[in-house]
Structure 1
Amino acid sequence: MKKKVTSTDIAHAAGVSQSTVSMILNKKYDVSFAKETVEKVENAAKELGYVPPKRKTRKGTKREKLLVVFCPNLTNPYYVMLLQGIEAHAKEKGFGLFVCNTQRDLRMEERYLKMMWQLRPLGIIYTCNPSHCFMDLVGEIAEQIPVAIVNNQNEKMNVDAVELDNSKLGRVMAKHLLELGHRKVAYIAPPLTARQKQRSKRVEGFLKEYEKAGLRDQVIIKAAKEEIDLDVAHIDSEYKIGYELTKELLNETTDVTAIVGLNDMIAFGVMDALHEAKIKVPADVSVMGCDNTLFARMHNMNLTTIEHFVTFKGRDACDIIMKKIASHHSANMETAPISTYHVEYEPQLIVRGTTTYAKNSRKKKN
């Protein structure tokens, strides 16, 4: 068997270094060599029968099966639960995830969206509504790459969605407290800005039920200042909102019999502020959250909350993407179905140990 000619063999024959041979044969023209040196190396290579190694080309290589997930933050367990649902289903199908944590920053969101044309993932999942100023851009991307959104209703978007009726979540929370006789209540929320419409919808649903009962003026809404959304979210950001606004509330009034946190993390802050003030939960004040996160189920928390099947929503969003990818790459492209998927779960009240009858209605109920 004939011995394979190497660059070292050529170097010996031409009387130059191996690195010189390597650079000349690899056409490194940014390094200058005398014309005779180049000719000497090329002639030696030809005489010895040097065969350049075959280079691996990108053409024909298998494309990585990649999904992109947009998240507004990763400090709230709600988004982590959504990601778990997405990742579990993606893994089953052999897909990898690229997570874009926008931190609710418009510049970050725009930067990531513009990266999509280069990255070219097989699908994109938004774990919340895109910011209003990027709706058109997301629509353009959706024409080329399948997009699914775990969105909040009342947004007119012609894309696939796993929907969340935040207004309904608020109504379920209010009905529970009204049934327990809570008339004077407080609702603690993050900033209720136009950009975060889903938060306002949850509050509006709650208020509608109290309005039906003729008790709208008995609900105190305490929302954090808008600047909070401009800061990078920390793991305890929403907990602090619940804690600090409850302390403010207790300085302003002492006659509320229930406090609602817009989500579980806020409710934990509410509970700690009440505990610090030596107010018993639920004997003195009932507390309620929403999302049924892992922490809500822990024994010491035992938080009454709303289950709306977050992990399942993540799986469904991923499943929608898989269906779209399959139809997009079908053999009969001209007959691929045009469809828009909309999936919604019915919220479920999870009664635990932080809500009970209001003090003034206990005698009537017992």
Structure 2
Amino acid sequence: MRKKKVTSSDIAHAAGVSQATVSMILNKKYNVSFSKETIRKVEQIAEEMGYEVPKRKTRRESRKEKLIVVFCSNLTNPYYVMLLQGIESRAKEQGYGLFVCNTQRDLKMEERYLRMMHELKPLGIIYTCNPSHCFMDTIEELAEKIPIVIINNQNEHLNVDAVELDNSKLGRMMAKHLLDLGHRKVAYIAPPLTTRQKQRSKRVEGFLKEFDAVGLKDNVIIKAANESIDMSIPNIDSEYKIGYDLTKELLREHNDITAIVGLNDMIAFGILDALHEEKYKVPADISVMGCDNTLFAKMHKVSLTTIEHFVVFKGRDACDIIMKKILSQNSQYSEIQPISTYHVEYEPRLIVRGTTSYAKTKKGKN
């Protein structure tokens, strides 16, 4: 027959003291005065009866139980900082901590962090961009054990939860705005358009599709940075420099452009500064447009026309999905665990500010 476990109440009964007294003495909490005789008596009886003080969880163990991992590809772009802001605000409300993995678009870094997941044992993982295709099998295996949410391009077919972004729609909205203003010869400046960064290509494709619909696809000049840029660790001004350098190059090659679009706001800021140095007036000579509606877009000297697609809200939603999945795992409503896949999408909005206007019929510097 299994021996009954000795409790602090058993010690208290044998020693003729309260259970609270036993607990404080055996846990060495002498904030209340006890006589030496009482302390000796309680400790002796506890030893004779084979009592073991229960082990308490360490702070480190507690943190592990409330950890969410976030994969980011680039923390130099305010877009990802805004996503993190949304994720962290919701996680903090629910008592969760974040472990941020900044992969810097490096496959080895991403693989290294994924290997760490077995040791970290997070309760959930959020990818703020599409995972590299070579790791999709790993992601789907992890998703069978813990909730994973990807903030991704809508056109990607992934068997995990997603907060989606239709990048093609963003591109079409940008193009439609410029076409409505009479722009017929425009340029689009982007980071490297590689297969690994398909969301960038989708935005460009959407832009071209809108111009193609009115027979003006050949009037769009696409200038994308060299692929080698993605191979290096991004600096705080990497995307700004893409906009700046490629605009300088563009102005040397073409003198009939009436509008320049940056794939995101950071690139658009580089475009604006390059045009200013070359004595072009915005938007009188050339209109400029960005995307993401980052904080700096509204603070800039000439406020930037851009696309709002509710980045902070997406971060909060991604965290909410993780919380719902964790709750579902911990709540047993039936013998069969339900399988649910969440897909959330916001309708983007055009934010017209001071950097776009009607195209001039005749291009030239004033």
TM class, shorter-length: 0.7 to 0.9
Q: Which amino acid aligns with 1:136?
A: D
Equivalent residue number for residue 194 of structure 1: 195
Query: How many angstroms apart in 1 are the aligned matches of 2:347 and 2:301?
Result: 27
Secondary structure at 1:359 match in 2: coil
Query: How many angstroms apart in 1 are the aligned matches of 2:51 and 2:336?
Result: 47
Q: How much has 1:59 moved relative to structure 2? A: 9.1
Q: Deviations over 1:294-319 (max 9, x none)?
A: 00011513000000000000010000
Query: How many angstroms apart in 2 are the aligned matches of 1:301 and 1:77?
Result: 18
After TM superposition, the score normalised by the length of structure 1 is 0.83
**Aligned residue runs from structure 1 range 261-340, under 5 A:** 261-332=262-333, 334-340=335-341
Residues 267 and 156 from structure 1, CA distance in 2 versus in 1: closer, same or farther, beyond 3 angstroms? same
Residues 299 and 76 from structure 1, CA distance in 2 versus in 1: closer, same or farther, beyond 3 angstroms? closer
Q: Does 1:239 align with 2:240?
A: yes
Residues 326 and 264 from structure 1, CA distance in 2 versus in 1: closer, same or farther, beyond 3 angstroms? same
Query: How many angstroms apart in 2 are the aligned matches of 1:54 and 1:69?
Result: 38
Equivalent residue number for residue 351 of structure 1: 352
Q: How much has 1:52 moved relative to structure 2? A: 12
Q: Deviations over 1:115-138 (max 9, x none)?
A: 111111111000001000000000
Q: Is residue 88–residue 315 contact of structure 1 (8 Å, CA) maintained in 2?
A: yes
Q: Deviations over 1:256-283 (max 9, x none)?
A: 0000000000000000000000000000
Equivalent residue number for residue 99 of structure 2: 98
Secondary structure at 1:281 match in 2: coil
Query: How many angstroms apart in 1 are the aligned matches of 2:360 and 2:335?
Result: 66
Equivalent residue number for residue 66 of structure 2: 65
Q: Does 1:132 align with 2:133?
A: yes
Q: How much has 1:336 moved relative to structure 2? A: 3.4
Residues 297 and 324 from structure 1, CA distance in 2 versus in 1: closer, same or farther, beyond 3 angstroms? same
Equivalent residue number for residue 249 of structure 1: 250
Q: How much has 1:64 moved relative to structure 2? A: 3.3
Q: How much has 1:332 moved relative to structure 2? A: 3.7
Q: Deviations over 1:180-217 (max 9, x none)?
A: 00000000000000100000000000000000010000
Secondary structure at 2:335 match in 1: helix
Q: How much has 1:166 moved relative to structure 2? A: 0.3
Q: How much has 1:344 moved relative to structure 2? A: 0.5
Q: Does 1:211 align with 2:208?
A: no
Secondary structure at 1:110 match in 2: helix
Query: How many angstroms apart in 2 are the aligned matches of 1:113 and 1:301?
Result: 42
Equivalent residue number for residue 184 of structure 1: 185
Query: How many angstroms apart in 2 are the aligned matches of 1:317 and 1:333?
Result: 26
**Number of equivalences:** 320
Q: How much has 1:333 moved relative to structure 2? A: 6.3
Query: How many angstroms apart in 2 are the aligned matches of 1:313 and 1:297?
Result: 20
Q: Which amino acid aligns with 1:156?
A: H
Residues 345 and 247 from structure 1, CA distance in 2 versus in 1: closer, same or farther, beyond 3 angstroms? same
Secondary structure at 1:144 match in 2: coil
Residues 271 and 130 from structure 1, CA distance in 2 versus in 1: closer, same or farther, beyond 3 angstroms? same
Name stretches of at least 5 consecutive residues in structure 1 with no aligned partner. Answer: 6-48
Q: Which amino acid aligns with 1:252?
A: E
Q: How much has 1:55 moved relative to structure 2? A: 8.4
Query: How many angstroms apart in 1 are the aligned matches of 2:308 and 2:344?
Result: 16
Name stretches of at least 5 consecutive residues in structure 2 with no aligned partner. Answer: 1-34, 41-47
Query: How many angstroms apart in 1 are the aligned matches of 2:54 and 2:314?
Result: 45
After TM superposition, the score normalised by the length of structure 2 is 0.83
Q: Which shows bigger deviation, 333-342 or 162-171?
A: 333-342
Q: Does 1:258 align with 2:276?
A: no
Q: Deviations over 1:49-92 (max 9, x none)?
A: 9x999684659964531100000010000000000000011111
Query: How many angstroms apart in 2 are the aligned matches of 1:162 and 1:296?
Result: 24
Secondary structure at 1:75 match in 2: coil
Query: How many angstroms apart in 2 are the aligned matches of 1:93 and 1:86?
Result: 11
**Aligned residue runs from structure 1 range 43-62, under 5 A:** 56=55, 58=57, 62=62
Secondary structure at 1:68 match in 2: strand
Query: How many angstroms apart in 1 are the aligned matches of 2:237 and 2:335?
Result: 51
Secondary structure at 1:334 match in 2: coil
Query: How many angstroms apart in 2 are the aligned matches of 1:139 and 1:284?
Result: 50
Q: Percent identity among equivalent residues?
A: 74
Equivalent residue number for residue 39 of structure 1: none
Q: Is residue 295–residue 301 contact of structure 1 (8 Å, CA) maintained in 2?
A: no
